[in-house]
Amino acid sequence: MSKIYLANSRLSDAKIGPLLKKFSNKVNVYPPGTCPLTVQLSLLQASRNQTCGKCVPCRDGLRQLEKMLIKVLRGRADMDTLIEMKELAVMIRDSADCAIGYQSAIEVLEGLETFKEDYISHIRRQECTGITGQKIPCVTLCPAHVDIPGYIAHVEEGSYDKAINLIRRDNPLPTACAMICEHPCEERCRRNLIDTSLNIRGVKKYAVDQIAADKVEVPRANPATGKKIAVIGGGPSGMTAAYYLSLMGHKVTVYEAKEWLGGMLMYGIPNYRFPKDRLDEDMNAILSTGNIEVKYGVNVGVDIPVEEVHRSYDAMYVAIGAQAGKKLRLEGIDAKNVFSAVEMLDEIGHDRKPDYTGKTVAVIGGGNVAMDAARSALRCGAADVRIVYRRRQEDMTALDTEIESAVMEGIELMLLQAPKHIEMDEDGNCCALWTQPQMTGPYKNGRPAPVDAVSKEPLRIPCDVILIAVGQDIVSAPFEAFGMPAQRNVFQAGLDTAIANMPGVFVGGDCATGPATAIRAIAAGKVAAHNIDEYLGYHHKLDCGVEAPEARPNNRIPTGRVNIQERPAYLRKHDFEHVECPMTYEEVQQECGRCLRCDVFGCGKLDGAVDR
Amino acid sequence: MTNTIYDITHESDAILMVGTNPECAHPVIGMQIRQAAARGAKLIVVDPRDIDLAKQADIHLKLRPGTNVAFANGMMHIFIEEGLADQKFIEERTENYEAMKEAVKEYTPEKVGEICGIDPDKLREAARIYAMADRAPVMYCLGVTEHHTGTEGVMSLSNMALMAGKIGRPGCGVNPIRGQNNVQGACDMGASPNQFPGYQNISKEGIVEKFEKAWGVALNPKEGTKATDCFPKMISKEIRGLFIFGEDPVRTDPNTNHVIKALTSLDFFVVDELFMTETAKLADVILPGISYAEKEGTFTNTERRVQRIRKAVTIAGEAKPDTWIFTEIMNRMGYPQPHLTPAEIMEEIALVTPSYGGISHARLDSEEVGGRGLQWPCPAPDHPGTPIMHVGKFARGIGYFRPAQYIPATELPDGEYPLTMMTGRILYHYNACAMTDKTAGINEIAGESFIELNTLDAKALGIEDGEKIAVSSRRGAIQTTAHVSEKTRPGECWMPFHYIEGGANWLTNDALDGISSTPEYKVCAVKVEKIASCI
Amino acid sequence: MQITINGRNIEAAEGSTILQTARREGIGIPTLCYLEGVNDIGSCRLCVVELGGTQELVVACNTKVKEGMTILTHSERVMAARRMVLKLLLSEHYGDCFSCEKNGDCELQKYCIEYGVETTEFTGARKEKNFKKKDAHPFLSYDPDRCIECQRCVKTCSHVTGRGAIWLGKTGMFSIIDAPFGEDWKNTLCESCGNCAQACPTGALTVKRRKTYRAWEVEKVRTTCPHCATGCQLDLVVKDGKIVDAVGADGPSNHGLLCVKGRSGSFDFVDSPERIRYPLIKNKETGEFERATWEEALDLTASKFTEIKNQYGGEALAGFACSRSANEDIYMLQKMVRTVFGSNHTDNCARV
| Cβ contact, residue pair C193, B27, below 8 Å | yes
Strand-strand pairing, A490-491 and A360-364: unpaired
> How far is the C-alpha of C238 from the C-alpha of C8, rounded, in Å?
43
Residues of B in Cβ contact (< 8 Å) with A2: 55-56
Residue B279 lies in a domain: no
CA distance C325 to B340: 17
Domain of C34, CATH number, reads: 3.10.20.740
Looking at residue A134, its amino acid is Q
User: Over 50: is that where the pLDDT of B345 sits?
Assistant: yes
Distances (CA, A) of B26 to A267, A552, B304, B488: 90, 77, 16, 21
- Residue B164 falls within a domain, yes or no? yes
Residue B488 lies in a domain: yes
Is C280 within the bounds of a domain? Answer: no
> Is the Cβ–Cβ distance between B84 and B127 less than 8 Å?
yes
Tell me which chains share at least 3 CB pairs under 8 Å with chain A: B, C
Contacts of C55 in chain A (CB under 8 A): 94
CATH code of the domain containing B451: 2.40.40.20
> Domain segments of chain A: what residues?
35-124, 137-217+544-605, 228-323+474-535, 325-473
Same domain, B32 and B164: yes
User: In Å, how far is A3's CA from the nearest CA of chain B?
Assistant: 10
Q: Name the average pLDDT for chain B.
A: 89
| Residue B410 maps to a domain | no
| Distance (Å) from the alpha carbon of B484 to chain A's nearest alpha carbon | 22
- Classified as helix, coil or strand, A214 is helix
Q: Name the pLDDT band for B394 (thresholds 50, 70, 90).
A: confident
pLDDT of residue B535: 44
DSSP string, A339-381: EEHHHHHHHHHTT-----TT-EEEEE--SHHHHHHHHHHHHTT
Do A57 and C92 make contact, defined as CB atoms within 8 angstroms? Answer: no
Q: Give the DSSP letter of residue C64.
A: B
Do B218 and B353 lie in a common domain? Answer: yes
Residues B124 and B87 in one domain: yes
Instruction: Give tens-digit pLDDT for B273-319.
Output: 999 988 999 999 999 999 999 999 999 999 999 999 999 999 999 99
CA distance A474 to A487: 11
Structural domain contains residue C199: no
Specify the DSSP class assigned to residue A61.
I
So what's the pLDDT on residue B513? 66
One domain, residues C12 and C68: yes
pLDDT value at position B433? 64
CA distances from C215 to A178, B283, C103, C104, C220 (A): 81, 44, 8, 6, 10
Strands A228-232 and A315-318: parallel
For residues B52 and B487, give the distance between their C-alpha atoms in angstroms, rounded to a whole number: 9
H/E element holding A440?
strand A430-444
User: How far apart (Å, rounded) are the C-alpha atoms in residues C77 and A390?
Assistant: 43
Sequence letter at residue A238: G
A208 vs A364: CA distance, rounded Å: 35
Peptide bond into B377 cis (omega under 30): yes
Residue B155 lies in a domain: yes
How confident is the model at residue B151, as a pLDDT? 82
Strand partners, C282: C289
Residues C230 and C271 in one domain: yes
Range scoring the smallest mean pLDDT among A407-411, B113-117, B493-497, C107-111: B493-497
The architecture in CATH of the region A137-217+544-605 reads: Orthogonal Bundle (1.10)
Is C81 a domain residue? no
Pair B525, B500 in one domain: yes
CB proximity C77 to A under 8 Å? yes
Based on the domain organization, do B201 and B346 belong to the same domain? yes
The answer to whether residue C248 is domain-embedded is yes
Q: Burial of B443 by CB count in 10 Å (0-12 exposed, 13-18 middle, 19+ buried)?
A: middle
Domain membership of residue B250 (yes or no) is no
pLDDT of residue B434: 66
- Domain interval for residue B295: 183-224+289-375
Pairing of strands A486-487, A490-491: antiparallel
pLDDT attached to residue B514: 65
Domain A35-124 fold is de novo design (two linked rop proteins) (1.20.1440)
- B468 has a chain A CB within 8 A of its CB: no
Q: Give pLDDT, residue A148.
A: 97
If asked whether residues B356 and B320 sit together in one domain, one would say yes
Architecture of the domain defined by A228-323+474-535: 3-Layer(bba) Sandwich (3.50)
Q: Best interface-test mutation with B: which of C228, C233, C285 has the largest number of B CBs within 10 A?
A: C228
Domain of C311, in residue numbers: 292-351
The reply to whether A325-473 shares the fold of A228-323+474-535 is: yes
Question: What is the CATH classification number for the domain harbouring B137?
Answer: 3.40.228.10
Are B429 and B303 found together in one domain? no
CA distances from A70 to A64, A81, C52 (A): 10, 11, 36
| Contact residues, chain B, for C280 at CB < 8 Å | 285-286, 288
Q: How far apart are CA A223 and CA A418, in angstroms?
A: 58
Q: Is residue B344 domain-resident?
A: yes
CATH architecture of A325-473: 3-Layer(bba) Sandwich (3.50)
User: Per residue in B203-237, pLDDT tens?
Assistant: 999 999 999 999 999 999 999 988 888 889 999 99
CB-CB neighbours of A417 under 10 Å? 27
Contact A2 B55 (CB under 8 A): yes
> Is B122 found in the same domain as B19?
yes
Residue B214 lies in a domain: yes
How do residues C53-64 score in pLDDT, each as one tens digit?
888 999 999 999
- Using CA atoms, how far apart are residues B505 and B518, in angstroms rounded to an integer? 14
Q: Are residues B432 and B527 in the same domain?
A: yes
Residues of chain A under the 50 pLDDT cut: 1
- pLDDT of amino acid A1: 46
Q: Which chains touch B (3 or more CB pairs under 8 A)?
A: A, C
Q: Are residues B47 and B139 in the same domain?
A: yes
Domain count, chain B: 3
Q: Which residue of B has its CA nearest to C252?
A: B372
Phi-psi region of A299 (alpha: psi -120 to 50; beta: other; left: phi over 0): beta
Q: Which residues have a Cβ under 8 Å from the Cβ of A124 and sit 6 or more positions away?
A: none
The CATH number of residue C258's host domain is 2.20.25.90
Per-residue pLDDT tens over the stretch B74-107: 999 999 999 999 999 999 999 998 998 998 999 9
The alpha carbon of residue B144 is apart from the nearest alpha carbon of chain C, in Å, by 12
Domain end residue (candidates: C10, C39, C74): C74
Domain with residue B361: its CATH number is 3.40.50.740
Positions in chain C short of pLDDT 70: 350-352
The pLDDT of residue B143 is 77
- pLDDT at residue C247, rounded to an integer: 96
Alpha-helix residue ranges (DSSP H) falling in A60-198: 62-74, 79-95, 99-114, 116-124, 137-141, 148-157, 160-168, 174-180
Q: Single out the residue in C224, C244, C275 at which a domain terminates.
A: C275
Q: Do C139 and B441 touch (CB under 8 A)?
A: yes
Question: What SS3 class is residue B320?
Answer: coil
Distances (CA, A) of B119 to B83, B110, B408, B454: 21, 8, 19, 20
List the single residue in C221, C305, C325 with the smallest CB-CB distance to B333.
Answer: C305
Residue B517: pLDDT above 70?
no
Cα(C96)–Cα(C86) distance, rounded to whole angstroms?
15
Asked if the structure places residue C342 within a domain, the reply is yes
Helices (H), B164-305: 183-188, 207-215, 227-235, 249-252, 256-264
| Residue B339 and residue B474 in one domain | no
Looking at the complex, does the CB of residue B122 fall below 8 Å from at least one CB of chain A?
Answer: no
Q: Distance between CA atoms of B162 and B173, rounded to whole angstroms?
A: 9
C-beta atoms of C172 and A53 within 8 A: yes
The minimum CA-CA distance between B316 and chain C, rounded to whole Å, is: 7
Last residue of a domain, one of C59, C74, C89: C74
CA distance to A238, A316, A494, B288, B481, per residue, from A531 (Å): 14, 11, 11, 112, 97
Question: In degrees, to the nearest 5, what angle opens at C-alpha A50 toward C-alphas A46 and A53?
Answer: 135
Rounded-to-integer distance, Cα A479 and Cα A506, Å: 12
The phi-psi region of residue A514 (left if phi > 0; otherwise alpha if psi is between -120 and 50; otherwise beta) is: left
Provide the residue type at B392 as one letter.
G
How far apart are the C-alpha atoms of A598 and A575, rounded to whole Å? 41
